[in-house]
Amino acid sequence: MGEAAMGRRATNGPVILLAPKRHGDARGWFMETWSEAWATSCGIEARFVQDNQSFSEAAGTVRGLHLQRPPHAQAKLVRCLRGAILDYAVDLRRGSPTYGRWTAARLTAEGAEQLFVPVGFAHGFVTLSEATEVAYKVSDVHAPDCETGLAWDDPTLGLDWPLPETGPVLSARDRAWPPLTAFDTPFAYDETPLAAPGERMN
Catalytic residues: 66, 136
Give the integer Cα–Cα distance in Å for 11 and 3. Answer: 14
Instruction: Classify burial at 190, counting beta carbons within 10 Å of its beta carbon; exposed 0-12, middle 13-18, buried 19 or more.
Output: middle
Give the integer Cα–Cα distance in Å for 37 and 192. Answer: 21
* Nearest alpha carbon to residue 65 among 140, 122, 141: 122
- Determine what percent of the chain falls in helix, strand and coil, rounding each to the nearest 5: 10, 40, 55
DSSP 66-130: EEE-TTS---EEEEEEESEEEEEEEE-EET-TTTT-EEEEEEETTTT-EEEE-TTEEEEEEESSS
- Hey, how many other C-beta atoms are within 10 angstroms of the C-beta on 92? 21
